[in-house]
Amino acid sequence: MPQSKILVALFSYNEGGKLKGLIEQFPLENNYELLFIDDGSNDGSYDFLLSKSFNIIKHNTNMGIGYGIREAIKYGRVHQFDIIVVMSANGKMLPSQIERLIVPIVNGHFDYVQGSRNLPGGEAPNLPTFRRITINLFTQIANILTGFKGTDITCGFRAYRLSLFDDKRFNLEQNWLNKYEMEYYIHYYVLKGGYRVTEAPVSMVYPEGMKNYSKIKPLIGWWSMIRPWIYLTLRIKR
């Protein structure tokens, strides 16, 4: 089997010291290429990345995670990568666990690997109780709608075989997918498309004291996560 060409896309918006700490965790030698998507940061993050000569896609304003994922997928396909890993640059996700996501795809067994902090070997230290409850509830609803017995639908640490997006059922160019909608839109169509899906245990390390643990805004952010399931199930959107 030829060696797979792997892209790791990291999404950053005013992550500051968290971003710098994360970069220090990446090994000097690895089997993947890094791509940073700076989503309109104004805290010096972009200049720091530029000084390190990373590949960067820069937004002048905050466009949203879905917009960034769309660009990363385009980049991966144009540059003929085989696999893309998506992860946040806020330090919650560990570079040492990237292999857990890509190995099932490299071995030819799966097309999409969803990270899960709820599997044995995964963890989520300092995760607020309310967040844990809503994650589990949302995961159960998604399982009912898709028939997939997942354990952690909201974990943003994922890997895809890029050839998935040759499937014309995916219409990633829709503007309504610019925020959190994109992640669940892809999840829905991968499962409904009959592709091979599995989960892998990962860690999501939350800061102590429950401060600044998420950029998801109440109501607006939650609606962004919920509406793909409503739109797609009722065929309001495709």
At 219, the pLDDT band (50, 70, 90 cuts) reads: low
Averaged pLDDT, 159-171: 96
Residue 70 · residue 172 · CB < 8 Å: yes
At 1, the pLDDT band (50, 70, 90 cuts) reads: very low
Residue 112 · residue 200 · CB < 8 Å: no
Residues in contact with 49: Cβ distance below 8 Å, sequence separation at least 6, in sequence order? 12, 19, 36, 38, 56
Residue 191 · residue 149 · CB < 8 Å: no
Residue 153 covered by a domain: yes
At residue 41, the 3 state secondary structure works out as coil
Supply the range of the domain harboring residue 145: 6-233
Which CATH number belongs to the domain containing residue 174 in this structure? 3.90.550.10
Residue 208 covered by a domain: yes
Averaged pLDDT, 210-221: 64
Write the CA distances from 222 to 38, 134, 154, 199, 227, integer angstroms.
23, 10, 11, 23, 9
127-150: b (≥16 Cβ within 10 Å) or e: beeebeeebeebbeebeeebebeb
Residue 186 covered by a domain: yes
Residue 115 covered by a domain: yes
Residue 122 · residue 130 · CB < 8 Å: no
Whole-prediction pTM value? 0.93
Please write the tens of the pLDDT for every residue from 19-48. 999 999 999 889 999 999 999 999 999 999
Count the domains in the chain.
1
Residue 94 covered by a domain: yes
| pLDDT for the residue numbered 3 | 86
Averaged pLDDT, 165-178: 96
Residue 1 covered by a domain: no
Residue 221 · residue 19 · CB < 8 Å: no
Residue 107 covered by a domain: yes
List the structure tokens of 237.
């959107």
Residue 41 · residue 12 · CB < 8 Å: yes
pLDDT reading at 216 higher than 80: no
Residue 238 covered by a domain: no
Give one DSSP letter per residue of 190-227, joined into a string: HHHTT--EEEEE-B--PPGGG-S---PPTTHHHHHHHH
Residues in contact with 36: Cβ distance below 8 Å, sequence separation at least 6, in sequence order? 9, 10, 12, 49, 54, 55, 56, 57, 89
